[in-house]
Structure 1
Amino acid sequence: MYSDRLTYQLIKVNDLQEFHELIIIPEVDKFNTMGIPESIEVTRQLLDEAIKEQNKKKANKLTYSVKLKDTEDFIGICGIIKSSEKYAKAELWMKFHPKFWNNGYATETIQTLLKACFKEYQLHRVEAGCAVENHASKRVLEKCGFIIEGIQRKNLPLKSGWSNNYEFGILEEEWNKQLP
């Protein structure tokens, strides 16, 4: 996959160092439940699990490395978690290196993932969530057409304590209305 400024490739073994450097950054971990891995070996296990999942015949969990198109700099990761075929829906997520924040890359990524979900995978609905304190992610999701459908109370076990979580959704027909 690609967008105007970014390329997206399924994560692979040689992404280990950049993946590890990303997920050990405290600012990246602030609103994520994974926690900071204790070592690069723990990160290797996480990476191996992601690769194993996406290599399944009918992969439901896809993790992508995100790179700048012009320099091939690694800037983050994102993913699609598909539900069973019966429900025709998926959940999106992303993590970016702070030095690449506030450049529109998150919005561009979510828009690209939405296009894949609705066009390539023929899904009916896409969901996402973020901690209510994560104002940047909330703005990105709203900019991409997601609608807040609810708040789960004290749902996210963050380092700072239990956090409420916005639940977002967008339907295929809503996404189609946004197209030029």
Structure 2
Amino acid sequence: NGAGKTSLLRVMAGLQESDQGKIRFKGDTVSYGSQGLEHRRRVSMLHQEPYLFSGSVLKQVCYGPISHGLNQGIEEKARQALEAVGCLGLVNRHTRQLSGGEKKRIAYACLLALDSELLLLDEPTAQVDQESSEKIRKLIQMQLDAGKTLVVSTHQPEWAKPLKPRLCMLEYGRIVSDTRWN
């Protein structure tokens, strides 16, 4: 709340200009605007309150890869992503009919279908029940095990502890603690 977590993630994603300093990813400076287009294709962000388009869950998960020009085998990839998040049974459901936890998991499936190098997750367990929270943590662990880079914003550092993360605490936009849980 006011620490700057969402703003930091948005700057890391190239969706917002930095007030000061620079963000680098794999040696490249992250840019905002048209200069940052190439970076944004390498990054996916799960927003705290995911916005889902009107339509079927399958179309929702296919949208991102199609917009990135990844048309080959996208429906199969979308189904695999939905299976990974435990939502394959929702493939034909309309996005308006989803619960909060289902919406988060569908949004996560959208990230998986894009197969981005960097995943930015803004409060992935906000407004979801305990069962969905555990499923989300397992999904994060799967991505870590697959060698993906994730940055997760949370008000619940204890929730993240089993992931053995590097934990940076922010206060008013500044890092006040940087530790690694093993």
Band of TM-score, shorter chain: 0.3 to 0.5
TM-score w.r.t. the length of structure 2 is: 0.34
Q: Where is the helix percentage greater, Structure 1 or Structure 2? A: 2
Q: RCO higher in 1 or 2 (8 Å CA, sep ≥ 6)?
A: 2
Q: Where is the strand percentage greater, Structure 1 or Structure 2? A: 1
TM-score w.r.t. the length of structure 1 is: 0.34
